[in-house]
Structure 1
Amino acid sequence: MNINNYECDGQMSIEDFLVSNNQEVKRLLHSGEVVFEAIKGDVERHVVTDEHWYIEHLKTYGNRTRVHGAYGVVLDSNIGNRVFFEKEKAEKIAEIYLQNHEVIRASEINPIETVAYSYKTITTGKKMMAFYSVLDNGMVYVKGFTTFEHLMLKEHAKKEIKKFIEQQEFKYSNPQKIEYIPKFKNMYRIKMKYDWDYAEARHSYAVG
């Protein structure tokens, strides 16, 4: 539901209410603008769409964005904190995080072998892809068909490759082996008891 278009007879919108009470609602982001968000030690580029909404309890606007070919959300209140119009400012914040947390940077990941598979879904035709890369230090970097990208220590590598091969997609979707050159991501240490040792920035347990 698009709350910007939702109206009930006799119901006043939040924005109309604030205006009627002489409280000006100012939006800081507008459709088409590009901003950069620091997500832990990563930096993501967002393009703002025309969809937005007012979050009353936070007293700010939420803005729908396009990021990495998918949808994201950026809050006006995060501008100048973790969201910036200048990429360099977001990179500075991200670098501070990297220097103070247990992170294996993408530039430090060196594969010696990569195995990848893909298939298209029957319903939408969407291409699904999974791969694992054995690294020069014995670790294994993995992206399942429906998982975050993650990294396993050398002592857990064989078990993780076995789990990769046992994904249900191999039984039901007939994926085909493909040639693939991964674009690795920063890997953040997971310090709690969990199935993975490291994972990408968007994983909530991967804090580094």
Structure 2
Amino acid sequence: MNKQISGQINLFDIFKEEPKESPVLLNPGQIVYLVVRGDIEPYKVSDRSWDIQGTNRGYDLFNIESNTHSNVTWNVNINKDTFTDKDSAELKANEYIFNNDCILAKDMYIKELVAYKHGYLGKEIYNWYAVLENNMIYYHYGGKYDHIGSTDEIKIFEEDNSKVDSTVVYDYIPHFKNMYKCDTDSNWLYADAHYQFFHL
């Protein structure tokens, strides 16, 4: 009869252990709020989540407006940049705005606007730039992040529009985004919240 030595691993105990999985903290259909710098983005949790060897769990997120998969979040992000209630998300976003260099969309006023439109795959695409009251120039064009750049970029903007069959739009009403200070290695001064942002 074999006796088990103290401290010896029992193979039966190993086989009896069930693999541990990370807990499910978000449910399909649940609304969550992702804080990207000072912006708050609502998403709906999809029915797909996955476990990373018991260390973390990921969730696919759907854009509420388009109902298309457009982001992910993780257990480790909950209550850090992913929140289940909007009030907590607003506190986090306001904290970032208070402590960082940013220009809020609500504080932007147009002094001059130049806008063009052209067709692409059956859609109307609008490219524009606005000279703001503080003389900064806000750009929206060419599939780039919205950003505030230098006057030198107007030439690049015009060159881009000359490559497509575009027409001038005189009554365009632009939609501004909050602008956040760029790192020193960027050619832009301020940009959309997602520019140079990494959601881990």
Shift, 1:149, TM fit: 0.3
Cα contact 1:49–1:66 (8 A) shared by 2: no
Shift, 1:186, TM fit: 1.4
For residue 135 of structure 2, what is the aligned residue in structure 1? 138
For residue 165 of structure 1, what is the aligned residue in structure 2? 158
RMSD between superposed Cα atoms in Å: 2.4
Distance 1:29 1:205, change over 3 A: closer
Between Structure 1 and Structure 2, whose CA radius of gyration is higher?
A: 2
Distance 1:68 1:162, change over 3 A: farther
Cα contact 2:43–2:61 (8 A) shared by 1: no
For residue 16 of structure 1, what is the aligned residue in structure 2? none
Give the Cα separation in 1 of the matches to 2:59 and 2:90: 23
Q: Which runs of 5+ in 1 are unaligned?
A: 1-19
The answer to whether the aligner puts 1:129 opposite 2:126 as a matched pair is yes
Normalising by the residue count of structure 1, what TM-score does the alignment of the two structures yield? 0.76
Distance 1:174 1:51, change over 3 A: farther
Aligned length: 179
Range that drifts further, 131-140 or 53-62? 53-62
SS in structure 1 opposite 2:61? strand
Normalising by the residue count of structure 2, what TM-score does the alignment of the two structures yield? 0.78
- 5 Å-filtered alignment, 1:151-162, equals 151-152=148-149, 156-157=150-151, 159-162=152-155
Q: Which runs of 5+ in 2 are unaligned?
A: 1-16
Cα contact 1:104–1:186 (8 A) shared by 2: yes
Range that drifts further, 131-140 or 24-33? 24-33
Moved over 3 A (4+): 55-58, 67-70
Cα contact 1:27–1:61 (8 A) shared by 2: no
The answer to whether the aligner puts 1:93 opposite 2:85 as a matched pair is no
Distance 1:101 1:120, change over 3 A: same
Identity of aligned residues (%): 31
Shift, 1:68, TM fit: 6.0
The Cα offsets for residues 10-66 of structure 1, whole Å up to 9 and x where unpaired, read as xxxxxxxxxx72524422222221111111111111122223333348522232322
The answer to whether the aligner puts 1:147 opposite 2:144 as a matched pair is yes
The answer to whether the aligner puts 1:21 opposite 2:18 as a matched pair is yes
For residue 58 of structure 2, what is the aligned residue in structure 1? 61
Pairing partner for 1:183 from 161, 172, 175: 175
